[in-house]
Amino acid sequence: MRFSSCYIPTLKESPADAEVVSHKLLLRAGMVRRLTSGLYIYLPLGLKVIDKIANVIREEMAAAGFQELLLPMVQPADLWKETGRWEHYGKELLRFRDRNDREYCLGPTHEEVITDLVRGEVRSYRQLPVRLYQIQTKFRDEIRPRFGLMRGREFLMKDAYSFDADMEGAQKSYQLMYDAYVRIFTRLGLRFRAVEADTGSIGGNFSHEFMVLADTGEDTIAVCDSCDYAANLERAEAVWKGQVCTDACPAVKPVATPGAHTVEEVTALLGISPKQLVKTMLFSVDGETVAVLVRGDREVNPVKLKNLLKAQEVDLATTAAVEALTQAPLGFAGPVGLRLPIYADLELQGGTDYVTGANKGDTHLQHVDLNRDASITAWADLREVIEGDACPRCGGRLSLTRGIEVGHIFMLGLKYSSSMHAAFLDENGKEKLMIMGCYGIGVSRVAAAAIEQNHDDGGIVFPPPVAPFDCILLNLDPRDEKVTAEAEALYAILEKQGVDTLLDDREERPGVKFKDADLLGIPLQLVLGGKSLARGVVEAKDRRSGQKAELPLNGFAEAFSAWAETVRKAWAGRG
RNA sequence: CGGGAUGUGGCUCAGCUUGGCUAGAGCGCAGCGUUCGGGACGCUGAGGCCGCGCGUUCAAAUCGCGCCAUCCCGACCA
A23 confidence band (pLDDT: 50, 70, 90): very high
Helix (H) or strand (E) holding A176: helix A167-187
- Find the mean pLDDT for residues A456-463: 95
What is the phi/psi pair of residue A340, to 5°? -145, 160
Distance A245 CA to B55 C1' (A): 72
Q: What is the spatial order of strands in the sheet that A363-368 belongs to?
A: A253-256, A363-368, A354-357
Of chain A residues 458-477, which have a beta carbon within 7 Å of strand B?
Answer: 458, 476-477
Query: Is A525:A540 a contact under the CB 8 Å cutoff?
Result: yes
Q: Which A residues between 122 and 161 have a beta carbon under 7 A from any strand B atom? A: 140, 142-147, 150-152, 155, 157
Give the mean pLDDT of chain A: 93
Residues 182-211 of A with CB under 7 A from strand B: 200-202, 209-210
CB distance A387 to A400 below 8 Å: yes
- Those residues with Cβ within 8 angstroms of residue A562's Cβ, 6 or more apart along the chain or in another chain: none
Element holding A482 (H helix, E strand): helix A481-496
Supply the pLDDT for residue A500: 98
Nucleotides of B under 7 A from a protein CB: 1-2, 6, 11-13, 26-28, 35-40, 69-78
Q: Which of residues 245-274 of A touch strand B (CB under 7 A)?
A: none
The CA distance from A211 to A400, in Å, is 13
Tell me the three state secondary structure of residue A11: coil
Between A303 and A58, the higher pLDDT residue: A58
Nearest alpha-carbon partner for A475 in A527, A523, A518, A514: A527
Task: Return the ∠ at Cα A237 (arms to A285 and A339), rounded to 5°.
Answer: 30
Report the range of poorest mean pLDDT among A63-77, A87-101, A335-349, A485-499: A87-101
Q: Which helix (H) or strand (E) holds A80?
A: helix A77-83
Contact status, residue A31 vs residue A43, Cβ threshold 8 Å: yes
Q: Give just the sign of the alpha carbon dihedral A302, A308, A312, A318.
A: negative
Q: What is the rounded distance in angstroms from the CA atom of residue A24 to the CA atom of residue A17?
A: 9
Distance CA A205, CA A211 (A): 20
A52 and A31 in contact (C-beta within 8 Å)?
no
DSSP 8-state code for residue A391: P
Helix/strand/coil (H/E/C) assignment for every residue in A447-466: HHHHHHHCEECCEECCCCCC
User: Using 50, 70 and 90 to split pLDDT, how confident is the model at A575?
Assistant: low
Query: pLDDT tens for residues A356-373?
Result: 999 998 999 999 999 999
Q: What is the ipTM of this complex?
A: 0.93
